[in-house]
Structure 1
Amino acid sequence: MILRLNIHWLMFLTVPALPTLALGAGPGNLLDGRIEAITQQVERRAERLIERKITEDVKRRIVEASEMPTDLEALLPEVLPIRTNDGVTAFLDARQSDGTRAVAKQWLLTVSEEELGKLHHPDITILQRQQLNGLGLTVVRFRVKPERDSRAALRELLPELADQLDRNHIYTPQSATTQADPQAAIPSVHSLCTEPVRVGMVDTLVSSEHPAFTEARIVQQRFLAVGNHSGDLAAPRAHGTAVASVLVGRSSTQAEARLPGANLFSASVFYERSAVASGATLAHLLEGLNWLTEQNVAVINISLTGPDNRVLAAVIRRLHQQGRVLVAAVGNEGPAAPPLYPAAYDGVVGVTAVDNTRALYRWANRGQQVTFAARGVDITVAHPDGGQVTNSGTSLAAPVVTALLACRLLRLSPEQALQTMIDDAEDLGEPGRDPRFGHGFLDDLSDQLKTPPAA
């Protein structure tokens, strides 16, 4: 019906352009024959135009779908029940009034022993008290009644502790499956150093049985328990497997790993929200970071983003004071998006993604939080099913910088290591540090950035 309507509309527009003689001279059958022939010609032309338009629309949507990271957060319901492996609802993953997502009515607070007594109130239920020895902090997770579920209400209730508490926010990974350009040359990975560097990451579970990790040394710990529930949360594997493959994986038996001698310590903090989406509560993220400090890692890779949070900021400051180097993805929400965290905290090395031509990933966040750029577009990574896929995102650029830093930290202090990388970065965009590329591009294939093996 729609096709026929379009055809006749095009016929109406076409007929006035026909010669007058063809419409007004000759026998009726001749005129009818000519009109019928013209009609068929116009219909065929209209059909081709419509088919072309449909094809172009389909191609455009395919390109957009493959190039633009899906806003999975926006597709989630306002309130999403998160269940343990045994089917019990552990908590509600809820959208807040400011657009962020957090565990419904749950808050976190860093406290001292003396301050714990101030939480005794009928509107507050303490759910868990965590002693994070590696960080030297005590964190309390508590639930509030609906009428107290706001910063203003808690500031009124706990005026002396208001600056030490925040929501149990939920953080998300930062990469998306894409289709690589078949004409693009995908560079080989080169080993950056062979020493047994100690590297940490917080992410999803890693499929360590994948062939890419045959020679890798990966130690994993899950942080997915919830209160008194008997079961843990379901643990996804795709994102962590991809990030780990950038750090210590080999794409084939002939290929090299960036860090072939590394000991990779992976804290699994993400739970499944759906078949394609995952999230990490701040409480689990803090547990993972605390465990990594206890493993004495030199650098921690964080390929996740989320909102600013007072408790997370306090933990990042503590890690910085301990001399830990944190590398974080700046995010894939687009050039106009606000800064995301933890990449935007002072002292964190924020990483953006470029392709093999050094062009900026079109969906990368921009701003003063960008420290370096590295390859992160059309990257071949390991997939939990045992195969490989092509992904893009700042999540995949961050581990490149993490690997480079891990090698330099063998011989240099964190300040010295960062300064040498700033000196070695290839300046792109505006002269000097800029909001798109930071200090510039770190080419991990360049001999200049490789650390020679220890004598």
Structure 2
Amino acid sequence: MMKRPTFHWLMVPALLIAPGLAQSVGPSGLIDGRIDSISEQVERRAEALVERKVAERTRERMVNADELPEQLQGQLSELLPVRTRNGETAFYEALQRDGSRAVARQWLITATADELVQLRRPGVTILEQRELEGLGLTVVRFQVRPDIDSRAALEKLLPELSERLDRNHIYSPQSRAAGAVPNGPQQPIASLCSDPVRVGMVDTLISDEHSAFDQASIIQKPFLTMANQPGELTAPRAHGTAVASVLMGQLGAQSRARLPHATLFNASVFYEGSGATSGATLAHLLEGLNWLAEQKTSVINISLTGPDNRILAAAIKSLQKQGPILVAAVGNEGPAAPPLYPAAYEGVIGVTAVDNAGALYRWANRGNHVAFAARGVDVPVAHTNGGLVRDSGTSLAAPVVAALLACSLPRMSKEQAIQALIDHAEDLGDKGRDPGFGHGFLDDQSERFRNPPAE
């Protein structure tokens, strides 16, 4: 999921379409001491206007009824096609009642070879079986008839397996570029350590030809094929490029990479959807996590969110047993939104974003799963077309914490590394750990986070 758009550039047009607000403007500017209130109203109206336009464009890209298989035509208003690079429809995104997205009528289950017999029922079609040895899981992806496309129906059909199945949910990235980096000096970034650490991430592809990565060691592997479909899904690049540039990119002549001697293993799991949307199916996310488990990384950055899912929970638990610390963005759905996953799973380090003044990012999720806050508002990041842009979101705060942990682990245990961050965190919200800032703000550019070079 991407962050909410920034609307300051829309404020003048919004005034033109909001005559009731324009009447309060006089020769000397806004009067009656209501500038803050009026600005908020204008921003809300502008925001609603842009969101309506986005919705209209999305509807324009929806398929006509005659493009759909007959059994899906009744769900037209909730479906969007996802196509391969050669234009073939790979699957349909389906909006669920809880607001989450999933591949239409597709489910995943962890099962043994003997248990697969139970899936051979009328209305159930097995699409593929994956041995995810790095996670220690065997995952089966299957499709069901529309009349049994619910948990209640599958619990009746497969009572012995119902606790180990869930939808093939779709997960979303957690940032979006906000604009060009202004001219002038930027706050320099210093390296955190010179250790040859191994760090993983699941994201979009990275534009590793960008000059920010001239000295970086990046190994990528895409997971965008569909076992039951020809062709490959289209891979976006913007989000992964931005996240990787925070983690280990050199952003300007006066800055250094946070992890200059790291090797970054990137599992590309996001596909390009309709319009400006993108997503990662759970099936592809599991494949990416499985590959990262085999790379023996010390930290894995996960700047994506989505719903709770039994299969994802099992994969996260398996990864945690193997050793790497999992760092995840808490999400950009807003302060009143429910917890998002995997950040909300026990043991995952959930990270929120703050600006340079230490104020929480306005769209950041909150909750008891927030562990730390780091800079993630209007930060410079690498753009896929070259140069830098300003970006915001919890996606960009998570790699800061991932880098801090990666630098600590050569010298400390996992427990000691996490405790060290707790000890050094600046308490910004309510005293002690709170739902907004977690344990507090981690200023990775503070001297207390500098590690001596590895001997």
TM-score, with normalisation over the residues of structure 2?
0.84
Shift in Å, 1:283: 0.3
Residue 381 in 1 paired to residue 404 in 2?
Answer: no
CA distance in 2, matches of 1:73, 1:109: 35
Shift in Å, 1:265: 0.4
Q: Tell me the residue number matched to 1:341.
A: 341
Shift in Å, 1:121: 0.8
Q: Tell me the residue number matched to 1:139.
A: 139
Corresponding pairs, count: 411
RMSD: 3.0
C-alpha change, 1:68 and 1:201, in structure 2 (3 Å) is farther
Residue 187 in 1 paired to residue 177 in 2?
Answer: no
1:113 counterpart SS class? coil
CA distance in 2, matches of 1:223, 1:187: 36
C-alpha change, 1:192 and 1:326, in structure 2 (3 Å) is same
Could you tell me the percent identity over the aligned residues? 62
Q: Tell me the residue number matched to 1:246.
A: 246
On the 8 A contact 1:82/1:92 being kept in 2, the answer is yes
1:234 counterpart SS class? coil
Question: What are the superposed Cα offsets for residues 202-258 of structure 1, whole Å, 9 maximum, x if unpaired?
Answer: 000100001111110100000000124331000000000000000111112442000
Q: Tell me the residue number matched to 2:91.
A: 91
Residue correspondence of structure 1 range 36-47 to structure 2 within 5 A: none
2:399 counterpart SS class? helix
Question: What are the superposed Cα offsets for residues 320-376 of structure 1, whole Å, 9 maximum, x if unpaired?
Answer: 111221000001111111000000000100000011111111111100010000000
Unaligned ranges ≥5, structure 1 = 1-5, 8-44
Residue 167 in 1 paired to residue 192 in 2?
Answer: no
CA distance in 1, matches of 2:23, 2:434: 50
CA distance in 1, matches of 2:157, 2:343: 32
Shift in Å, 1:411: 1.5
Question: What are the superposed Cα offsets for residues 379-418 of structure 1, whole Å, 9 maximum, x if unpaired?
Answer: 0000100121100110000000000000111121111111
Residue correspondence of structure 1 range 166-245 to structure 2 within 5 A: 166-179=166-179, 186-245=186-245
Q: Tell me the residue number matched to 2:410.
A: 410
- Give 1 or 2 for the bigger CA radius of gyration: 1
C-alpha change, 1:48 and 1:116, in structure 2 (3 Å) is closer
Shift in Å, 1:115: 1.6
C-alpha change, 1:96 and 1:159, in structure 2 (3 Å) is same
Residue 370 in 1 paired to residue 370 in 2?
Answer: yes
CA distance in 2, matches of 1:213, 1:382: 9
Counterpart code for 1:443: D
Shift in Å, 1:97: 2.0
C-alpha change, 1:58 and 1:387, in structure 2 (3 Å) is farther
Residue correspondence of structure 1 range 184-333 to structure 2 within 5 A: 186-333=186-333
CA distance in 2, matches of 1:298, 1:329: 18
Counterpart code for 2:387: G
Shift in Å, 1:49: 6.4
Q: Tell me the residue number matched to 2:433.
A: 433
CA distance in 1, matches of 2:406, 2:284: 25
Shift in Å, 1:188: 1.6
CA distance in 2, matches of 1:92, 1:293: 29
Runs of 4+ in 1 over 6 A off after TM superposition: 45-50, 56-60, 62-75, 180-185
TM-score, with normalisation over the residues of structure 1?
0.84
Counterpart code for 1:219: I
Shift in Å, 1:98: 2.0
1:292 counterpart SS class? helix
2:260 counterpart SS class? coil
Counterpart code for 1:271: Y
On the 8 A contact 2:354/2:361 being kept in 1, the answer is yes
Q: Tell me the residue number matched to 1:23.
A: none
